[in-house]
Amino acid sequence: MTDAPVMYPRKPQRIKGRSIAIIVFLSMAALFFCIPLYVLVVTSFKEMEQIREGAIFSLPARWTWEAWSYAWFDACSGLTCEGLRQGFWNSVAILGPSLVASIALSMVTGYALALWKMKWAGTFLFVLFLCAFVPFQIIMYPLIRLTVSLGIYGSMTAIVFVHTALALPVLTLIFRNFYKDIPEDIIKAAVMDSGSFWRIFIEIILPMSGNILIVVLIMQITSIWNDYLIGVTFGGLGTKPMTVHLANMVTVSTGTVSYNVNMAAALLTAIPPLVIYFVLGKFFVQGIAAGAIKG
């Protein structure tokens, strides 16, 4: 009969100074963002009488949804007093076509540049690289002239067109770099099996693009939904996105400023992209990680 091995208690691990510094820094960074968000949320549920007292960190004495209801149904944006409803549906109508057009075109272009040998591919990539870093303000006036000449200025079509055009350089480079690491043998075998350009893309490339699609989808939703400058520049009176309505509500007011309504309107505008992050956030991290490992 053998003696049982002697088990020694493990020494408790001490927290290193570096770990403490990281925890302190991350806590400060979280507070930097969480404190304004806390003030935003609690103010939206307060009545104006309590807000005038100046205690911005206090909880509402009486929780009420009146500010939220007024911001959604009755708040004035310019000459119209229909709340944020119209702007919300305008943003939805802009978001859908912009996502489909920008992602579809950039996927096909990136696929062609990465896996099909073309003489002009290098020059085209260089032009895309330059366009990706051109500030929007520089090309805003040419885009205005272009949309005017096409007869779409002041419409949702113009906003969708500009969003698509501005997203193509960056998204094409992203898809091209992702597809570049696909083994050439797969494409050669598909070509030998009488696979055409579109058949290879639909049956082979598209099913392999799930991870990068989630990344690009979240990037585009955030960019398009939060945009203000394109919407206010290229949209008409009835086609302004939600951010433009929010800006008009906050900056243009008569009489007493309703801070609770402004805070509620800001939260209503921010909720859709936040929901997307909560739903697809895990897949976004997986897509980034997959791209990093793949490269």
List per-residue pLDDT tens for the chain, 295 residues long: 555 665 556 666 666 777 888 888 989 998 898 999 999 999 999 999 999 888 889 999 999 999 999 999 988 877 778 889 989 999 999 999 999 999 999 999 988 888 877 777 778 778 888 888 888 888 999 999 999 999 999 999 999 999 999 999 999 988 988 888 888 788 788 878 777 888 888 888 888 888 888 889 988 999 999 999 999 999 888 888 999 989 888 776 566 788 899 999 999 999 998 888 888 777 766 666 555 444 4
Distance CA 212, CA 225 (A): 20
Q: 214 — alpha (psi -120 to 50), left (phi > 0) or beta?
A: alpha
Q: How far is CA 176 from CA 91, 277, 295, in A?
A: 29, 25, 12
pLDDT value of residue 292? 46
Q: Which domains does the chain have, with CATH numbers?
A: 17-64 (no CATH), 87-259+271-294 (1.10.3720.10)
Q: Is 213 exposed, middle or buried (0-12, 13-18, 19+ CB in 10 A)?
A: middle
* Rounded alpha-carbon distances, angstroms, from residue 5 to 1, 2, 10, 12: 12, 9, 15, 21
**Can you state the percent helix, strand and coil of the chain, rounding each to 5?**
70, 0, 25
What is the C-alpha to C-alpha distance for residues 237 and 249, in angstroms, rounded to an integer? 15
CB 50 within 8 A of CB 60: yes
User: Rounded distance, CA 141 to CA 146, Å?
Assistant: 9
Q: What is the pLDDT of residue 224?
A: 94
Neighbour count for residue 41 (Cβ, 10 Å): 13
Kindly report the pTM of this predicted structure. Answer: 0.83
Q: Give me the pLDDT at residue 78, please.
A: 72
CA 87 to chain centre: 17
**pLDDT score for 295:** 42
Instruction: Give me the amino acid identity at 185.
Output: D
| Alpha-carbon span 74 to 269, nearest angstrom | 15
